[in-house]
Amino acid sequence: MRTILAFLFSLSTLVTLAQIDTTSASFLAEAQLKAYNSRNLEAFLAPYSDTVKVYLAPNKLMYQGKKRMSDTYEYLFKTYPELHCKVINRMVEGNVVIDQERVTFSKDAPIVEAIAVYRAHGGKITEVMFIYKDMPAPSTPKK
């Protein structure tokens, strides 16, 4: 009986895993969050399109392209070893994910409250918009 139950449990787990859509906006947002928190640049960049556009609300284009994103986050990951983002709330509607975030740069710096809006198309995140509470976006390296 235990063997049958164990088999049925593993079968249901496999079916559940097979149903996960790795191209969904929700999956992509979660993947980049996990990589961000582990400061794994390659894994962080993987969910993004090569032509990703990153905005500061309401419509200021901060930069475009995965190369520029790579430079920006390589700088952040190296400069802030305690960098961590905690998602307080997540809303998903189709290809859009909206995260309410608390970002810690270092134990001595104030926590940054932010909203991140991710838009995905074709299995990649194509646009990100950041909305910051009481603080502008962190500086990025000059190119």
pLDDT of residue 103: 96
pLDDT at position 69, please?
A: 98
Q: Provide the whole-model pTM.
A: 0.79
Can you list the residues of the chain whose pLDDT is less than 70? 1-22, 134-143
| Domain boundaries along the sequence of the chain | 2-132
Which residue carries 């995140």 as its tokens? Answer: 125
pLDDT tens, position by position, 43-71: 999 999 999 999 999 899 999 999 999 99
Per DSSP, the residues of 95-117 read: TEEEEEEEEES-TTSPPEEEEEE
* pLDDT given for residue 11 in this prediction: 41
User: Rounded to whole angstroms, how far apart are CA atoms 110 and 108?
Assistant: 7
**In this structure, are residues 83 and 77 in contact, taking their beta carbons and an 8 Å threshold?**
yes
Sheet strands (E) in the chain: 48-56, 60-64, 84-93, 96-104, 112-121, 124-132
Q: What per-residue confidence (pLDDT) applies to 3?
A: 57
Arch. (CATH architecture) of 2-132: Roll (3.10)
Q: What is the per-residue pLDDT for 137?
A: 52
Q: What is the pLDDT of residue 126?
A: 97
Per-residue confidence (pLDDT) for residue 132, from 0 to 100: 87
